[in-house]
Amino acid sequence: MSTLTIEDDHFELDGEPFRILAGAMHYFRVHPAYWKDRLLKLKAMGLNTVETYVAWNLHEPHEGEFHFGDWLNIERYIELAGELGLYVIVRPGPYICAEWEMGGLPAWLLKDPQMQLRCMYQPYLDAVGEYFSQLMRRLVPLQSTRGGPIIAMQVENEYGSYGNDTRYIKYLEELLRQCGVDVLLFTADGVSDEMMQYGGLPHLFKAVNFGNRPGDAFDKLREYQTSGPLLVAEFWDGWFDHWGERHHTRSAGDVARVLDDLLSEGASVNLYMFHGGTNFGFMNGANAFPSPHYTPTVTSYDYDAPLSECGDITPKYEALREVIGKYVDLPEMPDFPPVVKQAYGKVELDEWAPLLSQVDALSTPEYSTVPLPMEMYDQ
């Protein structure tokens, strides 16, 4: 059994100094057949921890209907990481952002016309409570304090970018503890006064999210957390794409330089993303900026990450591995087999059908005297 603790300006694990070197990889964006390959590549890069969000809307697509098998077998994902010698950080939300449909919140919440999300609205809290009871009874036995690989969990997600109901953050903290979570809890927010003030609680450990200028970010963090280790919960090494935009890229040299800077400060870090994967189905999220323009995310979540969407090692991977090697002893680089790909060639569509003429084949009619939101029809 292991416990991650805070001692002065550093973390300790079982009484020994420990630096978190993590990479984000979401189990629900990667086919389970590839979990092991991707996790081994994460470890080979010199990282010791994998971080993942938990997508509530996948696990409870309809109220009271829970799924934790196959692609959604988060227990197996965490167990596999532990078997490979990795620790795990879990970010269960309930809101996760993650460029995911409704930030992971299930659409059926909106069937309540009075619904108020991410605050002390009792029907919302009741739904969160039922979800956490189902999720945590699977995760609690996998905590490092019980012999598993989970060393920390996040409370909510970047709440300072959304609201200021600190009673809600306190409620979630207490709910997690009531469910049996006894590992380190933390919050993570962007680098601004408003985000740092509203995103957490004085006694909860604070982490920051950014992509550049680590010195400025740490100075701001120290205004609100004067002691303790520095943790970058999200170091943005790439970015996501919206429909109609060019693919976002960030040079390997630039990312390596900033990573070197923050590691030289003694900070712990989570690379967001290590391996992005894919927004399967219709789970790609959307933004509304520049307001009021609707900007949906594309299906790919490649993110220009060190490990590409199809699992290839990239020059960015190699550059970041070299930087990490300045601070820890790197494992020997395995001879990974090439990722098998298939080119399907040119696909020609020579038939089409007007949408409205196919309505009867696609749906059944619902009648209302006034238009209603899609969620009222379980869409």
Residues labelled catalytic: 158, 234
Q: How far is CA 298 from CA 30, 76, 100, 308, in A?
A: 16, 28, 11, 15
Specify burial of residue 275 (Cβ count, 10 A radius: 0-12, 13-18, 19+): buried
Q: How far apart, in whole angstroms, are the C-alpha atoms of residue 259 and residue 236?
A: 10
> Which residues fall within 8 angstroms of residue 271, CB to CB, at 6 or more apart?
22, 23, 24, 47, 235, 237, 259, 305, 306, 320
45 closest CA partner among 305, 274, 304 = 274
For residue 101, CA distances in Å to 132, 199, 223, 260 come to 19, 22, 34, 34
Tell me the pairing of strands 4-7 and 21-24: unpaired
Per-residue DSSP letters for 169-187? HHHHHHHHHHTT--SEEEE
Closest CA to 258 of 238, 228, 229: 238
* Amino acid sitting at position 40: L
Count other C-beta atoms under 10 Å from residue 330's C-beta: 14
Q: Cα separation of 277 and 268, whole Å?
A: 24
